[in-house]
Every structure is written in C-alpha cells, then in structure tokens.
Amino acid sequence: MAQRRMFDRSITTSDKFLDMSKTAQLLYFHLGMEADDEGFIGNVKMLLRAYGANDDDVRLLITKNFVIEFESGVFVITHWNENNSIRADRKKLTKFTDEKASLVLNSDGQYVQGTQLNQGVQPIDDQLTTERQPADNQMSAQVRLGKDRLGKDSKYIDQTSLTDRFEILWKMYPRKSGKKQSFEIYKRAIKKGVTDDEIKRGIENYLKQIKIKGTPTQYIKQGVTWFRNEGWNDEYDYTPERPVNGKQPRVIEHRPVEWNNVPEDDDIIPDFEI
C-alpha cells in the first residue's frame, strides 16, 4: 500500500470545498490520508472520534459529493483518481470489492454510483487498466509519488507554503537585513534538500552563541550574510569570553522584536515563479 497521498488544489481550493466548515474540510484531508490505494475507507466512525469530527461533517461531505457512502458503512473519496495516480504494479487493490463493483468512472475520473454506462463513462477496471500501465522506473504522468522526487521537485513546491515557512524563520533571526536576497537563498537551499528544521536549529545555535559571548549588536551577522554563508552548517562556540582587565564582560540580551521595528526596503516578498 502506498504511503503517500496527494490532493488536487483545484478541488481543495474550490468555492464548493471552502464553503464547508473547517472541521469538514479537515476531515476530508484525514479521510484522504487514511483511505486505501483505491480511495476506500472502512472505519469512518473510528476516524471521526480520533480527529474530533462529527456526523454533520460527514453528511456535509456526502451532500457536497466529496465522498460517497455505501449501505455497508464503507466510504470512498469521489475525486480519488484526480488526487492520486499510483502505478498499477505498486497499488494494493481495495478489499471492498462489492462496493467498488457498484461504481463507474466518469470522463473526469471521478467515482460515480450507477449501473448504466453513460457516454464518456467506463467500468473502473477497464479505465484504470487503459490509463495506468506499469512501467519500469517510470512514474505516472499525472502525479509522481516516488520516494526520490516527492517534496524535492520544484513543481511540487507550493509558493504560499514557502513564503509562510520562511517568515517563521526570518522572525527568529536577530538582525533582519536583506530579506529579499535571504528568501531567494532559502528557496535554493530547500530545492537542494535543506530542511526548515536544519535552518531553525542553526539560528537557535547562533542565538545561543550570541547570548553566551555577549556579542554586541553591530557584530551580529546580517540576515543575508548568515543565509548566504549557510549558517545552519556552522559550528558555534559556546565558550564565554574571558574577562578583560579582571572584569567580566557584560552579557547583552538581544530582543529580536527591536529589529522587527526597523523599516526595511525589501520587507515585502514579491510574487515569483520557481
């Protein structure tokens, strides 16, 4: 069974989806993560309790046609084949064969209940066989779920997510200068495989060194310098400075909030394309 799941933004950012309650939206994502490789879920009631949802949320998903309910209590994600394309040789077929037999796929690849094959509608097994032939070392043309590329290929990096993630890191850094350039460097680092946690730990380690050594503000690296030099890879020295003329150097407390009040020409990150 595949361990990765995808969601089509054309579905999850549609007015129809966003008009639902937040709990119903969240439940949809959880159901998508818990479904088998063909989009079926057999333990919805348990998932409701586990994720703090209720029957109203399920009813809303059914009414909006985001899920289909069977008399057996099994559910299926309506847009499963739009969200996910899994190689046939890696897919574990659902055990809910009776429920699957009552479905057909429409021309958009959506599950539809019914026994009549209308124009543009094919039996599920025939359509999946036609569209998803297994091939060595080749991922589905629609969605790549392989270990090597998922999360690293730039086409799957969400712009809004990158901006928000960078803002969290930028707020941590004590000397905010060169934000635009720092963001560009951050994007390149993420594409190379650097994680937010690595950068976060690097900033925390630098802040610890600054505090222990009492580094004066003017000697703290500018943000763009720290990012350009990949400061998250640096080894920091936590040895306190030796007393000068018998006097212990004063430890300077740095409050990042003061830097937040300093106006920056490049404070706004513009739109860009990866």
- Could you report the per-residue pLDDT of 19-57, keeping only the tens digit for each? 999 999 999 999 999 999 889 999 999 999 888 899 999
Q: How far is CA 82 from CA 36, 188, 245, in A?
A: 15, 30, 72
Residue with tokens 């057999």: 42
What is the residue extent of each domain of the chain? 9-146, 155-260
pLDDT above 90: percentage of residues in the chain: 45
E-assigned strands of 117-188? Answer: 122-123
Q: Other CB atoms closer than 10 Å to residue 183's CB: what's the count? A: 23
> Closest by alpha carbon to 272, among 181, 195, 177, 200?
181
Contact 243, 214 (CB under 8 A): no
The answer, yes or no, to whether residue 188 has pLDDT greater than 60, is yes
At residue 105, φ and ψ (nearest 5 deg) are -105, 130
Cβ 77 vs Cβ 83: under 8 Å: yes
Per-residue pLDDT averaged across 125-134, rounded?
44
